[in-house]
């Protein structure tokens, strides 16, 4: 309840802080404490500290309202219910973590069934008086508070010393404090349900239990009910599009356009109102804009599928127009963006991208002042409507614990009924941004911590996207992880871990990239890069050893048996096959058959093709105090 109130403070037109949170938890093992934390904006410490103290004091003196308590009980009960529903599908990692907490902190492990019984027994009896007495006991009053300030050495606002900070704290406790006033919100997400759309076709692939619905508004829905989880439904949505079609000056407006639901809200609800109407539900939906695609992702419990689709419907039909909330948001985010270049890793990413892409106008990571000045609600809203006001061309995939007939009816109403202009199509735009086609090394100095990060990136264009080639690149990545771990960590003792990642992309143009990330001490950079290149050259000339090839194959098959019983695997594979026009009935055995036919020679040829020594880009982040 207190964190909800702090979130409301952060959404004021002139917010006292960028963000704030509170909680009672482990300060150190065996010791608990109440903590309130505020992220300070350009107004400095005084308003942030005052607001943090005000809300803490309001809770300590007057407690929660009955509506806040009811929502908290409902949310907590839902969490126990979901854990119970998934009790026979719990991941091993969850058990391991429970055992660790039992050993370190004597936390009991009664099991999900007992937990739910315990919650159902106790929750109804927790009264307003109980919770408010707890708040009064745990939240410290004046004279019992420790204040700590963590900040950069240089800021755009004056930083108080210990004496001034203590005075600010004391003055914060002199503020008048009044009880919290609960804002009434609607009980339903939609005032009325939309009319169902017109279903053009329904096709079933029995072998994988997949149903594809095609609607007159230009949308398609792929439905795969599963029993992998008892209380989970996942959603993804996609089509070509993205932000590349907008001028550079609109970069920030395009970046934030998809996030307007979290900035200004949906329908009749501000971002702080939505959790109230969704109390007792486990549901989320998020829109996204990449450079070349329009996307959605969502998750819900089995009983909340309709609520998730209602949120999706609101994303298309009723993003709240609230310039004041957007102004409050931009006022908080601009100082963070302006200061982001002080972070060595962010500054390095900006430098690295600009060098890799020959200083293309879209290559920078850090926003320019002109882009920040251009940030406006009207422009961000217009971009949002251009992409999420028209559903034509979207494909949605639903995987999880749902009844097929009920899901069909809900999809027909909330997706088939989405607004659409079928005369308008959406396409990815290729801006011509390409990595340099020669080998090059660049160094960048930032920060004082005695460590370096080295990136090696191999890039190139491909004729067309091919799933079989994508799989080869994945296997090469796995082989390289083994070899670099052996040589860089175990033999040279130069790193704790080496990152290897690959991408085989269809849009905005067919291309691939392989990136090695090597953290190390500054003096070890050259030796580790030489060792990594040696392993890559061996792969190019000889391919993987029979032992490593067998290990990678077995690891993949073992993992595949597990992944094919996960909703997230099927969600991703159905989307991947659909985007590339491939028969989804092939999914269960596609990579298994590729692997069975794969030879060491196939991977050697792929390595020779993708690890071009004439097109490797090296970038090294070093501390400013490092020796030349």
**Tens digits of residue pLDDT in 432-442:** 999 999 999 99
Please determine, for residue 628, whether its predicted confidence score (pLDDT) is greater than 80.
Answer: no
Whether residue 383 contacts residue 287, with contact meaning beta carbons closer than 8 Å, is answered with no
Please choose, from the candidates 170, 114, 136, 115, the residue with its C-alpha nearest in 3D space to the C-alpha of residue 61: 136
- What are the beta bridge partners of residue 38? 20
pLDDT of residue 244: 95
Torsion, Cα 277 280 281 287, to 10 degrees, reads: 50
Quote the CA–CA distance of 51 and 173 in Å, as a whole number. Answer: 10
Quote the CA–CA distance of 590 and 603 in Å, as a whole number. Answer: 18
pLDDT band at 275 (very low <50, low <70, confident <90, very high): very high
E strands within 170-209?
199-205
Question: What confidence tens digit (pLDDT) does each residue in 602-627 have?
Answer: 999 999 999 999 999 999 999 987 55
Average the pLDDT over 349-355 and give the result: 95
Please determine, for residue 565, whether its predicted confidence score (pLDDT) is greater than 70.
Answer: yes
pLDDT of residue 535: 94
Whether residue 570 contacts residue 514, with contact meaning beta carbons closer than 8 Å, is answered with no
Whether a cis peptide bond, with omega within 30° of 0, leads into 383 is: no
pLDDT of residue 12: 85
Residue 239 carries which DSSP code? E
Average the pLDDT over 156-178 and give the result: 92
Please determine, for residue 393, whether its predicted confidence score (pLDDT) is greater than 60.
Answer: yes
pLDDT of residue 447: 87
pLDDT of residue 143: 80
Whether residue 431 contacts residue 361, with contact meaning beta carbons closer than 8 Å, is answered with no
Q: How far is CA 124 from CA 31, 72, 76, 78, 471, in A?
A: 29, 12, 12, 14, 53
pLDDT above 90 covers what percent of the chain?
83
Report CA 338 to chain centroid distance, whole Å.
22
Reading the block at residue 162, the tokens are 């210990």
Report CA 73 to chain centroid distance, whole Å.
27
Please choose, from the candidates 285, 309, 507, 513, the residue with its C-alpha nearest in 3D space to the C-alpha of residue 410: 309
Please determine, for residue 79, whether its predicted confidence score (pLDDT) is greater than 80.
Answer: yes
Q: How far is CA 104 from CA 33, 100, 378, in A?
A: 18, 6, 53
Please determine, for residue 568, whether its predicted confidence score (pLDDT) is greater than 90.
Answer: yes
Average the pLDDT over 215-244 and give the result: 96
Average the pLDDT over 230-259 and give the result: 95
pLDDT of residue 182: 87
Please determine, for residue 30, whether its predicted confidence score (pLDDT) is greater than 90.
Answer: no
Weakest-pLDDT range from 9-13, 231-235, 597-601, 624-628 = 624-628
Quote the CA–CA distance of 265 and 215 in Å, as a whole number. Answer: 28
What mean pLDDT is reported for the chain?
A: 93
Average the pLDDT over 123-142 and give the result: 93
Quote the CA–CA distance of 400 and 570 in Å, as a whole number. Answer: 9
Average the pLDDT over 22-46 and give the result: 86
pLDDT of residue 26: 75
Please determine, for residue 409, whether its predicted confidence score (pLDDT) is greater than 70.
Answer: yes
Q: What size, in residues, is the chain?
A: 628
Residues 6+ positions from 542 with CB-CB distance below 8 Å? 604
pLDDT above 70 covers what percent of the chain?
100
Please determine, for residue 495, whether its predicted confidence score (pLDDT) is greater than 90.
Answer: no
Torsion, Cα 247 249 250 252, to 10 degrees, reads: 140
pLDDT of residue 626: 52
pLDDT of residue 11: 86
pLDDT of residue 434: 96
Weakest-pLDDT range from 135-144, 239-248, 399-408, 415-424 = 135-144
Question: What confidence tens digit (pLDDT) does each residue in 289-337 have?
Answer: 999 999 999 999 999 999 999 999 999 999 999 999 999 899 888 888 8
Please choose, from the candidates 497, 514, 496, the residue with its C-alpha nearest in 3D space to the C-alpha of residue 505: 514
Report CA 298 to chain centroid distance, whole Å.
12
pLDDT of residue 567: 97
Whether residue 388 contacts residue 237, with contact meaning beta carbons closer than 8 Å, is answered with no
Average the pLDDT over 259-274 and give the result: 94
Average the pLDDT over 360-371 and give the result: 93
∠ CA 557-558-560 to the nearest 5 degrees? 60
Whether residue 515 contacts residue 455, with contact meaning beta carbons closer than 8 Å, is answered with yes
């Amino acid at each position: 309840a207190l964190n909800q109130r702090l979130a409301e403070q952060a959404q004021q037109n002139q917010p006292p802080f960028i963000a704030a949170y509170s909680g009672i938890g482990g300060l150190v093992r065996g010791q608990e404490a109440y903590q309130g934390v505020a992220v300070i904006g350009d107004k400095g410490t005084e308003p942030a500290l005052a607001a943090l103290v005000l809300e803490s004091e309001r809770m300590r003196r007057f407690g929660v309202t009955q509506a806040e308590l009811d929502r908290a009980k409902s949310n907590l009960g839902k969490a126990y219910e979901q854990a119970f529903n998934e009790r026979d599908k719990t991941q091993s990692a969850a058990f391991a973590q429970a055992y660790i907490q039992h050993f370190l902190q004597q936390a009991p492990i009664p099991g999900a069934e007992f937990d739910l019984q315990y919650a159902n027994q106790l929750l109804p009896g927790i009264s307003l008086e109980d919770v408010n007495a707890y708040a009064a006991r745990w939240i410290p009053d004046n004279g019992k508070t420790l204040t700590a300030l963590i900040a950069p050495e240089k800021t755009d606002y004056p930083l108080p010393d210990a004496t001034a900070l203590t005075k600010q704290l004391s003055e914060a406790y002199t503020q008048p404090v009044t009880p919290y006033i609960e804002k009434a919100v609607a009980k339903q997400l939609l005032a009325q349900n939309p009319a169902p759309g017109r279903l053009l076709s329904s096709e079933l692939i029995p072998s994988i239990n997949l149903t594809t619905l095609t609607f007159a508004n230009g949308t398609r829905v792929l439905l795969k009910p599963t029993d992998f989880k008892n209380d989970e439904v996942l959603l993804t949505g996609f089509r070509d599009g993205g932000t590349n079609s907008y001028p550079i000056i609109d970069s920030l407006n395009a970046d934030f356009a998809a996030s307007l639901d979290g900035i200004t809200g949906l329908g009749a609800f501000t971002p702080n109102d939505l959790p109230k109407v969704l109390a007792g539900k486990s549901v989320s939906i998020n829109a996204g804009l990449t450079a070349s695609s329009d996307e959605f992702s969502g998750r819900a419990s089995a009983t909340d599928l309709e609520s998730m689709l209602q949120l999706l419907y609101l994303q298309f039909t009723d993003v709240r127009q609230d310039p004041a909330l957007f102004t409050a948001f931009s006022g908080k985010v601009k100082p963070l963006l302006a200061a982001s270049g002080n972070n060595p890793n962010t500054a390095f990413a900006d430098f690295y991208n600009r060098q890799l892409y020959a200083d293309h106008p879209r290559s920078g990571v850090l926003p320019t002042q002109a882009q920040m000045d251009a940030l406006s609600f009207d422009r961000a809203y217009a971009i949002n409507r251009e992409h999420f006001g028209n559903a034509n061309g979207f494909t949605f995939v639903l995987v999880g614990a749902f009844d097929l007939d009920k899901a069909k009816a809900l999809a027909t109403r909330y997706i088939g009924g989405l607004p659409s202009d079928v005369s308008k199509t959406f396409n990815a735009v290729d801006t011509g941004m390409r990595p340099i086609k020669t080998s090059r090394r660049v160094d960048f100095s930032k920060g004082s911590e005695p460590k370096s990060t080295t990136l090696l990136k191999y890039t190139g264009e491909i004729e067309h996207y091919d799933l079989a080639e994508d799989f080869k690149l994945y296997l090469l990545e796995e082989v390289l992880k083994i070899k670099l771990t052996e040589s860089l960590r175990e033999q040279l003792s130069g790193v704790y871990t080496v990152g290897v990642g690959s991408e085989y992309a269809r849009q905005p143009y067919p291309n691939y990239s392989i990136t090695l990330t090597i953290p190390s001490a500054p003096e070890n950079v050259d030796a580790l890069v030489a060792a990594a290149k040696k392993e890559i050259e061996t792969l190019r000339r000889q391919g993987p050893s029979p032992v490593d090839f067998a290990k990678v194959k077995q690891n993949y098959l073992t993992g595949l048996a597990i992944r094919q019983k996960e909703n997230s695997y099927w969600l991703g594979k159905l989307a991947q096959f659909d985007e590339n026009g491939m028969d989804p009935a092939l999914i269960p055995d596609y990579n298994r058959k590729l692997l069975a036919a794969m030879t060491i020679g196939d991977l050697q040829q792929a390595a020779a093709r993708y690890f071009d020594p004439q097109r490797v880009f090296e970038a090294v982040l070093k501390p400013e105090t490092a020796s030349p």
